[in-house]
Structure 1
Amino acid sequence: MTENPISDHRERRGAFGAAAEQYDAARPGYPDELVTDVLEFAGPQGVDALEVGAGTGKATLAFAARGITLTCLEPDARMAAVLARHCAGMPHVTVETTDFESRRPSGRRFGLLLSGQAWHWVDPEVRWRRAQELLLPGGAIALFWNDWLVADEDLRHELRAVHHRHLHGLPPHSIVDAQPRESVMVPNSWVWEELQTQEGFTDLEHRLYLSRHTRTTAGIIDLLSSLSSYLILTEETRRAVLSDVSRTIDAHGGALELDTRTGLFLARTAA
């Protein structure tokens, strides 16, 4: 029996904590060039930043290494615990186990709001308004995501067939697409469209960073196991899909190349 990997938004949002350590080990970070570009765009005010949906610290550590002050919001206590462990001994990094929507106002405003692989989980009814409330005049917002795609076309087709054997439809963010179906990487995505409708934001920019890296079979299984659309599958279905994926990659030499596209959206609040 096939299973539908596309489920309730709230269920998917809350799935990561159960695999926090695996998420931390499997998920790639972000290009150094992106960090440089964000901080240059933000300017001097960017030294005091708020991070939304910090997870286990994939973006946090890259920005903290530049010496800026970071207040990191992560609603899942299990993810936040891994993040806090990584940031131990970093007095310029504070971890708050709370979500962006319900964080109690403190009157403090930031020069930079950043969010990696997480802004789509924030309630669309409040996210832009809350961002403006928490940013200083002229403060910057930086939102970024990674997409991963199997580079080899033949192997990609084989892995698509594997998924179709076990699932009713592909996951919404699948490495076996020729092009991501629900990507935010293009300027006319929902991120860009929503930003354009917000009167309080100016200087909108979109940037794209391309890279390619090799992953072993185990590395691919770990990556897929960290994605919400796989985490919410039943254990039986998830095991069957991943076992079949593993056998397929092993038959191709035990590794594959992933094309990685990192999309960045930038804007400023009105000064």
Structure 2
Amino acid sequence: MTEESTPQSEQRRRSRSFGEVAEMYDAARLPYPDQLFDDVLAFAGPQGAPALEIGAGTGKAALAFAARGVPLTCIEPDPRMAELLSRKCADLPEATVTVTVGEFETWHPDRRYGLLYAAQAWHWIDPEVRWARAREALLCPGGAIALFWSDWHVVDAALRGGLVAAHDRHFAETFPDEFVGSRTGGPASWVRQELAADGGFEDLEQRTYTSVHERSTAGFMDLLSSHSAYRIMPGGKREALFAEVEPLVAAHGDTVRLETTTRLFLARTGP
């Protein structure tokens, strides 16, 4: 197996695909629930600031925490995403958000944090080191970790069936289930298993938030285009798939109704 075809290299390629469309990604991705941010800060308590975000992207989570008065350090490996985040934070009070281009696995801060969180990003981090590094290098004793993801599910069964059929024709492997397939629970199983197996975290909690959003055909196509599974498709195959998907949605009243499920995982390091 060549380096280019290893699972690790594929994972890295997918994780770096978002910067190609940073502006579209920022506009297309749905917001996280307001209640989630309040719940994270309540769990973290007074020592939760300043906080550290891993894989900050364009700041979908960072700006929500900053709006609640939390000073942040944001680590983002893609300089294009980091540059957009920096621009979005330019009008905030000085030192509210510090953006650093870097890799979680090798970054060395000059302090520890009371809260470490990752929004739609923790699965990109090397599983061999992510938990131990969070505990041993970045979090204070008793510090909180908060990890959250959103999955989007097409509500209408008839539209979903048409989308599944189109995806089956164009994806060589399993397509991104959170959009058009069955509800799978996302990261629920592996996050809990890995946290428990690590042995260095306690007070594990899981919370779920649901909401419904509507997207136009163009908005739905942009949302698909912001997903790594579509970003790494060969251009011709992606165009062929989208050429089927777009008229399906347009024929459905030019609207897609999406049920959004956001799962939050909380834990603390030991004293």
TM-score (norm: length of structure 2)? 0.93
Structure 1 counterpart SS, 2:77: coil
- Deviation of 1:166 after TM superposition, in Å, equals 1.9
Aligned residue type for 1:207:
R
Instruction: Report the counterpart of residue 210 of structure 1 in structure 2.
Output: 210
Instruction: Report the counterpart of residue 127 of structure 1 in structure 2.
Output: 130
Alignment check: 8 A CA contact 1:173 1:183 kept: no
Q: Structure 1 runs of 4+ off > 6 angstroms?
A: none
Instruction: Report the counterpart of residue 260 of structure 1 in structure 2.
Output: 260
Determine the C-alpha separation between the residues in 2 that align with 1:261 and 1:219: 18
Instruction: Report the counterpart of residue 230 of structure 2 in structure 1.
Output: 230
Instruction: Report the counterpart of residue 3 of structure 1 in structure 2.
Output: none
Determine the C-alpha separation between the residues in 2 that align with 1:76 and 1:268: 28
Instruction: Report the counterpart of residue 142 of structure 2 in structure 1.
Output: 138
Determine the C-alpha separation between the residues in 2 that align with 1:105 and 1:80: 17
Determine the C-alpha separation between the residues in 1 that align with 2:16 and 2:214: 29
Deviates more, 1:147-156 or 1:158-167: 158-167
Aligned CA distance change for structure 1 residues 161 and 68 (closer, same or farther; 3 Å): same
Structure 1 counterpart SS, 2:179: coil
Instruction: Report the counterpart of residue 36 of structure 1 in structure 2.
Output: 38
Instruction: Report the counterpart of residue 97 of structure 2 in structure 1.
Output: 93
1:129-152 residue CA offsets vs partner (Å, 9 max, x unmatched): 110121111110000000000001
Instruction: Report the counterpart of residue 239 of structure 2 in structure 1.
Output: 239
1:170-224 residue CA offsets vs partner (Å, 9 max, x unmatched): 42444111213x711x3xx110000011222110000000111101100100000
Unaligned stretches of 5+ residues in structure 1: 1-5
Determine the C-alpha separation between the residues in 2 that align with 1:259 and 1:137: 37
From 59, 62, 74, give the equivalent of 1:57. Answer: 59
Instruction: Report the counterpart of residue 157 of structure 1 in structure 2.
Output: 161
Deviates more, 1:30-39 or 1:15-24: 15-24
- Deviation of 1:21 after TM superposition, in Å, equals 0.9
Instruction: Report the counterpart of residue 4 of structure 2 in structure 1.
Output: none
Deviates more, 1:245-254 or 1:97-106: 97-106
Aligned residue type for 2:14:
R
Identity %: 56
What is the RMSD computed on CA atoms of the aligned residues? Answer: 1.4
Determine the C-alpha separation between the residues in 1 that align with 2:64 and 2:245: 31
Instruction: Report the counterpart of residue 70 of structure 1 in structure 2.
Output: 72
Determine the C-alpha separation between the residues in 2 that align with 1:195 and 1:74: 23
Aligned residue type for 2:134:
A
Instruction: Report the counterpart of residue 3 of structure 2 in structure 1.
Output: none
Q: Please tell me whether residue 103 in structure 1 is matched to residue 104 in structure 2.
A: no
Alignment check: 8 A CA contact 1:160 1:176 kept: yes
Aligned residue type for 2:47:
Q
Alignment check: 8 A CA contact 2:168 2:175 kept: no
Instruction: Report the counterpart of residue 177 of structure 1 in structure 2.
Output: 181
- Deviation of 1:168 after TM superposition, in Å, equals 2.0
Aligned residue type for 1:42:
A
TM-score (norm: length of structure 1)? 0.93
